[in-house]
């Protein structure tokens, strides 16, 4: 009997944010969007990075029922109230937190924020604690495109605010094919620029 074929494992170096599929480096979803000129990373401030990381960690502990509010930075209280309000009003229940995924054919990887279910079915959400982003539509399509049955997911950008409120941008399952086609074009151009060694704009 022949030995089973072992598929390469996806790993992420947290410090460098580099994804490896076995010995093959895969660009991240964010790297591709930035390389296509759709995300300008120079505007990411230290304060914004701290807030984003802190809010994501807080929501993760909240979902795991392991959040010690006594140790919470007071600046995060409004974001926590906003996240709880979002879950209460939509019925969203987290099933998977921050899962690494990859698309072998298109050659990219990423880590989405949360996957679960709400009142209308399966959902994948992207948390924001700063400004909303028009590219979230394609970012979430990239993540869902790595999952089985991608057309079943409602994708949502959930923007948490420090006043305890949130805003919601919803991308319906019926829009997945169109959004993923755009994402495929973005990824293809990114890889072509790398192949041709085109200078970054």
Q: Where are the domains of the chain?
A: 10-195
Between CA 162 and CA 63, with CA 114 as vertex, the angle to 5 degrees is: 70
For the segment 92-107, what is each residue's pLDDT rounded down to a tens digit? 999 999 999 999 999 9
pLDDT given at position 201: 54
Nearest of 106, 162, 110, 104 to residue 135 by alpha carbon: 110
The answer to whether 3 touches 161, Cβ cutoff 8 Å, is no
The answer to whether 102 touches 10, Cβ cutoff 8 Å, is yes
The answer to whether 1 touches 164, Cβ cutoff 8 Å, is no
**With 70 as the cut, is the pLDDT of residue 151 above it?**
yes
Q: How confident is the model at residue 193 (pLDDT cuts 50, 70, 90)?
A: confident
Using CA atoms, how far apart are residues 21 and 63, in angstroms rounded to an integer? 29
pLDDT given at position 41: 62
Q: How far is CA 173 from CA 42, 96, 137, 179, in A?
A: 32, 19, 12, 10
């Amino acid at each position: 009997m022949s030995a089973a074929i072992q598929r390469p494992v996806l790993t992420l170096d947290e410090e460098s944010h580099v994804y490896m599929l076995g010995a093959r480096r895969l660009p991240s979803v964010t790297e591709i969007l930035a390389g296509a000129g759709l995300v300008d990373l120079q505007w990411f401030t230290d304060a914004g990075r701290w807030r984003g990381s802190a809010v994501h960690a807080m929501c993760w502990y909240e979902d795991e029922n392991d959040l010690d509010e006594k140790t919470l930075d007071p600046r995060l209280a409004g974001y926590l109230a906003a996240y709880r309000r979002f879950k209460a009003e939509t019925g969203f229940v987290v099933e998977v937190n921050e899962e690494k995924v990859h698309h072998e054919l298109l050659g990219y990887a990423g880590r989405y924020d949360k996957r679960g279910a709400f009142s209308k079915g399966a959902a994948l959400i992207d948390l924001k604690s700063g400004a909303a982003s028009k590219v979230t539509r394609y970012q979430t399509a990239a993540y869902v495109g790595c999952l089985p049955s991608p057309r079943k997911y409602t994708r949502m950008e959930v923007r948490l605010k420090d006043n305890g409120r949130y805003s919601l941008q919803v991308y319906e399952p019926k829009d997945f094919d169109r959004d993923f086609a755009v994402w495929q074009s973005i990824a293809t151009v990114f890889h072509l620029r790398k192949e041709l060694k085109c200078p970054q704009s």
